[in-house]
Amino acid sequence: MSQKTMSANFLRGVPAEEALSHLLPMVSEGYEQAIKRHGIDVLQYGYFSGFGRLREILAGIHHVDPARLIVGNGGMEVISLFFKSLPRESCILIEETSYDRVIFDAMQYGHKVIGIRMTPDGLDVDDLNKQVKKVTAVAFYGIPFHHNPTGITYSVENRAAVEDICKKHNILCGWDICYETLRYDGKKNEPITVNEWGPILMDSFTKTLSPGTKCGYIVLPREKMEFMEKVVGNTRLNPNLPTQAFIAEFIASGNYKKYLEYLCGLYRPKMDALNRSLKSYFPGASSDRIAGGFFATLTLKKISRDKEKAFVTAAKEAGVNITEGWGTVAPNMLEEKRKEGLLVRLTFPACKAEQLEWGIQKLKDLESSFK
C-alpha cells in the first residue's frame, strides 16, 4: 500500500475481514449440521434460558451447574438483563473507563454509575475501598482480561482483592470475560474460579466467533437465578436457538479451539505493530503493553478540549479515523480525565500492521504540529 493511499481506521472493534472469510465455510457447514441434528427442537418455542446442550458445555468449562447459566442473544443482552434485574436506581461501580454501551445501558435503567481508578495491574484497590465506604453499591462490573478500552489485564492478585472487597460488602461482583481467550503473546490467562457466591461471569462470542451470531451468556449465583429467569421471560421468549445449537456443536467438535488459535496467530503481528508504535511515539501517554483483546487507549496531552473536534477532523482528512473516547469514561471522572488531554480509543484487529504503524505515526505528527 503506497503512502498516498495509506489509511488507518481506529474506530470500531470489529473482527478482521480475513478472519470472517476463514470462518465462513465452517459456519455454513456447522449451521446445516446443527439444524439436521436438532431439527424442530431449535425452530420451536422453548429453552428461554438457552439451548440445553450449549448450557451444559459452557457449565463444564466454568465448573458450575448448568442451572446457573442463561445463554442469550449476545453479551450486551445478558449484561442488560443483569442491570434490569437490579433494584431501580442502584449504585453500580465500574472502572474509570469501560465499555461505553454498558455505561449508557446502566444509566438507562436509572442506575447511578461510579468509576473506580485503574492501575496497570487492574483496579485501584485503595480507591475501591474508599468508594464502598462512601456509597451503598449493589454491583460491580469490570473487564479483567484485555480491558475495553485500555487493554489492561488484571493481575490474579488484583482480581482476588476486588472479589474479596465485593464479597465483604455484599456487592455483586460481575466480570465480563469476553476477551479472556483472545491473548496473542503465546501465554494463557488464568481463568476465574466461580464459587457458590460468585463472582458473576458474563461472556460473548462476538469477538471470538462473529458479531452476527449474537450469542452471549451469564453465570449467576443460584439464589439469583429464579428472579433472573423471570426477567428473561418477561423480556423475550426464545433466544436464537439455531445459532446456539451451532455454537454447541462447534465447541464440541474442537473446531472452535482451532479457530481461536487461528485468530491469536492472525492478530499477534497487528498487536505487536501497535505496541511498537505506541511505545515509540507516545511513551507514557498510551497503553503500550497490550497482550490481547481489541483495544488500547491513547491520551493526546497537547489537544485541549477546545481543539478536540478540529483535531479529529484533521486526522480524518489525513487518513486516520478516530473519535474522542469520552463515552467510555465514568460520569464522576469525566471532568478530571478531560484535563489530561484528548482520550482516543484505538482498535487494531481489523487493520493491517503497516496501517497501524503509519496511523500512530501520523497521529504523533498531527499532534506535534497542531495549533
The C-alpha atoms of residue 10 and residue 288 are separated, in whole angstroms, by: 15
Predicted structure pTM score: 0.95
Specify whether 271 is located in the same domain as 132: no
pLDDT in tens, 193-215: 999 999 999 999 999 999 999 99
DSSP helix/strand/coil, 129: helix
pLDDT at 306: 94
The last residue of one of the domains, among 256, 277, 304, is 256
Specify whether 243 is located in the same domain as 314: no
pLDDT in tens, 335-370: 999 999 999 999 999 999 999 999 999 999 999 998
Range of the domain at 287: 8-16+267-369
pLDDT at 5: 75
**102 pLDDT exceeds 80?**
yes
Specify whether 153 is located in the same domain as 222: yes
Mean pLDDT of 63-87: 96
Q: Work out the number of other CB atoms within 10 angstroms of the CB of residue 322.
A: 22
Name the band, by pLDDT with cuts 50, 70 and 90, for residue 3. Answer: low
* Domain CATH for 295: 3.90.1150.10
pLDDT at 237: 86
- According to DSSP, the β-strands at 172-176 and 139-142 are parallel
Specify whether 193 is located in the same domain as 271: no
Specify whether 284 is located in the same domain as 144: no
pLDDT in tens, 237-258: 889 999 999 999 999 999 999 9
The last residue of one of the domains, among 223, 256, 289, is 256
For 8, 9, 281, 284, 301, the CA distances from 368, given in Å and listed in that order, are: 19, 20, 11, 16, 10
Specify whether 30 is located in the same domain as 12: no
Per the structure, how many domains does the chain have? 2
The last residue of one of the domains, among 256, 276, 294, is 256
